[in-house]
Amino acid sequence: MAETPKTRLSLETLAISAGYDAAEHQGAAKPPIYMTSTFVYPSAAQAKAVHQAFFDGEVPEKSGKNGFIYARLDHPNLVMAQARIATLDRAEDSALFASGMAAVSTLAQCFLRPGDSVLHSRPIYGGTDMLLHTHMTEMGVHPVGFTDGVDEAHLTQMADAAMARGPLTLIMVESPANPTCAIADIALISRLADRVALAQGRRPIISVDNTFLGPFLQSPLEHGADLCLTSLTKYAGGHSDFMGGSISGPNALVGKLKKLRTLMGNHADPHNCWMLLRSVETMALRTERAVANARTIATFLRDHPKVVRITYLGFLAEGSPERAVYDRQCAAPGSTFSFDVEGGEAGAFRFLDRLRLLRFAVSLGGTETLICHPATTTHYAVPEEARAAVHIGPATMRVSVGIETASDLVADLAQALEAV
């Protein structure tokens, strides 16, 4: 069980209790939902005080103790859910958003200005890739992708290439990466940021997208990331019935994101925050079961003659640089990975169309097992050469293993592989 130094309670325990005090809510054992868009000021003086608490100073007041103004700025369920996610991410604070992409786009808008460069891992979620290489590029930002997150020489070369285009202000890392599980060495990237600071007089902010593993299997802030970003739609929500995103980190950075969120209006609403509080209570259990199932599924696929490639983290070669980083950074291989079958796109399509139990859909992290074909779905907008460079091919499929009985999943995969 992972222990937090501050409280000595395990993360599993804190996932059930952090951020909610029944005594502050008429003794309700579970969080009520505050379905209101606005809040009545008790007096003119208090109205002034609450506006001062929100707008003055570097960061908005985060506990709601001075009261609330309007739900786009802050609301009681947001305070509860942010406190819980910050605890799980071992951060001072967290900002919650309407989706993972709301978090990603607010991060980019908050810290990048025209003329800046941004260094990012590749592969990276297709939406993030598209944001950086279309909209942010149109805004005058220069994205530079690196394809080997454990190789110091490659990372240095790419950081130099980025700095040649403009001040490097943000490093966006996704590790493990969607969909291939490529690993990036967060501590190494933190040392690289120190060197960039010496070269250009300003240290870039490092954000790590932790969506693939989540807080029980990886804590990016403990390895040198400044910000930990998560699509809560996935493992935290856990049931494919909710959307949300979070960015956790120090008060000063999260406060900036919250201020911009108020202007962009992309906060998490009361119902979604309530859903999240409920869902994270079972996240540790779901994670444990999905990780165990994934090991069984990955072993079956690795040993199947029609499977030609598999990126499951549990199979990283002993002695490889990736394995050394994995051992230091991750507590388990997670439950989403990709694999290739024989026969190119036609083979993959025959296989997908034959599945009965596994559901053919994008997204990941739900109780149900989902499978998709990244080249034609999640990473459709990424140019073919860029996909090919990071092994997202015509026969690549991404599977997010759920919490069903593993043998039922294996049986379905076995019968569908007959169609390949």
Nearer to ligand PLP, 247 or 417 (CB): 247
Tell me which stretch binds ligand PLP (CB under 6 A): 99-107, 158-166, 282-290, 367-375: 99-107
Within a 10 A sphere around the Cβ of 64, how many other Cβ atoms? 18
Asked if 127 interacts with ligand PLP (CB under 6 A), we say yes
Helix, strand, coil tally for the chain in percent (to 5): 45, 15, 40
Least Å distance, CB 159 to ligand PLP, is: 22
Asked if 365 interacts with ligand PLP (CB under 6 A), we say no
Asked if 100 interacts with ligand PLP (CB under 6 A), we say yes
Q: Could you tell me which residues come within 8 angstroms of residue 382 by beta carbon, excluding any fewer than 6 positions away?
A: 123, 126, 129, 130, 392
Determine the size of the site formed for ligand PLP (CB under 6 A): 14
Helix (H) or strand (E) holding 110: helix 100-111
Beta strands in 98-234 (DSSP E): 117-121, 142-146, 168-174, 205-209, 227-231
Residues 56 to 85 in contact with ligand PLP, rule: CB under 6 A = none
Least Å distance, CB 45 to ligand PLP, is: 41
C-beta of residue 306 within 8 angstroms of C-beta of residue 48: no
- C-alpha distances in angstroms, 273 versus 69, 84, 111? 18, 10, 25
When binding is defined by CB under 6 A, the residue of 209, 269, 322, 340 that contacts ligand PLP is 209
Least Å distance, CB 365 to ligand PLP, is: 9
Asked if 125 interacts with ligand PLP (CB under 6 A), we say yes
Least Å distance, CB 125 to ligand PLP, is: 4
Residues 165 to 204 in contact with ligand PLP, rule: CB under 6 A = 174, 178
Name the nearest CA neighbour of 120 among 147, 141, 157, 156.
147
When binding is defined by CB under 6 A, the residue of 14, 81, 101, 182 that contacts ligand PLP is 101
Helix (H) or strand (E) holding 261: helix 251-264
Least Å distance, CB 314 to ligand PLP, is: 19
Mapped onto helix, strand or coil, the DSSP state of residue 239 is coil
Window 219-238: contact mask with ligand PLP (x via CB under 6 A):
------------x-x-----
Least Å distance, CB 115 to ligand PLP, is: 26
When binding is defined by CB under 6 A, the residue of 94, 99, 175, 293 that contacts ligand PLP is 99
C-beta of residue 279 within 8 angstroms of C-beta of residue 242: yes
Least Å distance, CB 338 to ligand PLP, is: 12
With b for 16 or more beta-carbon neighbours within 10 A and e for fewer, the 24-34 pattern comes to: eeeeeeebebb
Least Å distance, CB 325 to ligand PLP, is: 18
Please report, as ranges, the residues that interact with ligand PLP according to CB under 6 A.
99-101, 104, 125, 127, 174, 178, 209, 211, 231, 233, 243, 245
